Amino acid sequence: MTDYRTFSPDDAMRFADEHSELFGDHSKLSCKEFGDGNLNLVFRVENDKGSSLIVKQALPYARCVGESWPLTIDRARIEAEVLLAHRKLCPQHTVEVLHYDAARAAILMEDLKQYRILRGELIAAKQFPHLATQLASYLANTLFYTSDFALTGPGKKQQVGQFLNPELCLITEDLFFTDPYCNHERNNIHAEIRAEAQQLWHDETLQAEVAQLKADFLSKPQALLHGDVHSGSIFINDENCKVIDAEFGFYGPIGFDVGSLVANLLLNYLGHFGLTADSSRRQQHQDYLLQQIDSLWQQFASQFKQLMAEECKEPALQNALYQQRFMQQVWADTLGYAGCELIRRTVGLAHVADLDSISNSMLRGQCEAKAIKLGRELILQRHSLANMAQLLTLLNYNT
């Protein structure tokens, strides 16, 4: 910790120049901080020829709250190491880390300025035909190759230890699985859905299922998760997409990552009831989203199954019936964690712009109520929904 101090733009500039050849020796550099995330500083360093790099530094507290919420700067190590590990397994869709400095909790990475953040694009109703294919490939490769199907027992356990991440996991444990189901002061509940939120606090049937999902989050180290793969952690353009911001990474249930992504597409789907007044444009975008969700699961599952059949190193896990059951359980987890994400993004501390940017508060309340209702059904029915088509009938909302 001794070398740590919060970077000024000048510090970030020197850091980038020191650890990259990109700028050469005599280029004029400039730098500004432009992070819009909840936790960290993000600087862009560029020269007068338009070359640029990103410096991300962890603060010893959560940026959105301030020094009253201390947070380990070791999260920069987790982020760098998860991104490096995932990039080895899926270089096409993982941001490139160029350098990591433990003492300064700083990461130097490629600037994705040719890309835009997925959430904003989906709010603007932009469509990307390869979204599902690309993200299915990211999930299948990063999750399969860090699981027991691909790693040896001792190698896997060493990795589980390397990525324990107790402080950031605790944030998820609280915000996802605890706060929304009680009258917690951290919750952020719009007046229009107060009644729906209060029902969650007395819904013991739902709470029992959420307890199971939380217990699995705590004790099912299946694969090295990204841990925060919402649509604000994905950069996209017409050709490609890349994942950033892996500081919540740890070994957990595979369905958590898949479910986070599915839920963020569903949040956008529901948000457009309030964002897009023209019903045929809305329908067209929502059809696109449903088709991407369906295809995300189909392609993820088929790639994961193929990898299990071809690459599984562990003899006992080569059993075909076991592998079939395994995928069934990942599917149920995916639906369950997607449901938790829908609920926590409407009732919990951290909301999403897909819902919060709906200007008419009554309309926004209706969308939020739909999110809670769909979230609840996903959690309760996760073992009986056989396929995506059944999920889609659940979504038969008119307006």
Binding site for ligand ADP (CB under 6 A): 35-40, 42, 54, 56, 95, 109-113, 117, 232-233, 244-245, 247
Alpha carbon dihedral 287, 288, 291, 293, in 10-degree steps, equals: -110
Candidates 353, 278, 282, 289; CA nearest to 123 is 353
Please give the DSSP secondary-structure letter assigned to residue 44. Answer: E
Task: State residue 305 phi and psi, 5-degree precision.
Answer: -65, -40
Task: State how far the Cα of 134 lies from the Cα of 227, in Å rounded to an integer.
Answer: 18
> Which of 56, 382 has the CB closer to Mg ion?
56
Tell me which residue has tokens 């964690």. Answer: 337
46 is a contact residue toward Mg ion (CB under 5 A): no
> Which of 141, 231 has the CB closer to Mg ion?
231
Report the relative pairing of strands 241-243 and 234-236 from DSSP bridges.
Answer: antiparallel
> Which of 247, 377 has the CB closer to Mg ion?
247
Task: State residue 125 phi and psi, 5-degree precision.
Answer: 65, 30
Site stretch for Mg ion (CB under 5 A), options 16-24, 150-158, 203-211, 344-352: 16-24
> Which of 51, 357 has the CB closer to Mg ion?
51
Asked if residue 246 belongs to a known ligand binding site, the reply is yes
The least CB distance from residue 39 to Mg ion, in Å, is 5
Asked if residue 354 belongs to a known ligand binding site, the reply is no
Asked if residue 216 belongs to a known ligand binding site, the reply is no
Among positions 121, 216, 245, 333, the unique one binding Mg ion when judged by CB under 5 A: 245
Task: State how far the Cα of 220 lies from the Cα of 253, in Å rounded to an integer.
Answer: 5
Task: State how far the Cα of 238 lies from the Cα of 127, in Å rounded to an integer.
Answer: 9
37 is a contact residue toward Mg ion (CB under 5 A): yes
The least CB distance from residue 116 to ligand ADP, in Å, is 9
112 binds, among Mg ion, ligand ADP, none (CB under 5 to 8 A by kind): ligand ADP
| Residue 120 contacts residue 354 (beta carbons within 8 Å) | no
Asked if residue 238 belongs to a known ligand binding site, the reply is no
341 is a contact residue toward Mg ion (CB under 5 A): no
| Residue 319 contacts residue 313 (beta carbons within 8 Å) | no
* Bind-site residues for ATP: 40, 56, 110-112, 245-247
Site for Mg ion, rule CB under 5 A: 17, 37, 245, 247
* Bind-site residues for substrate: 228, 344
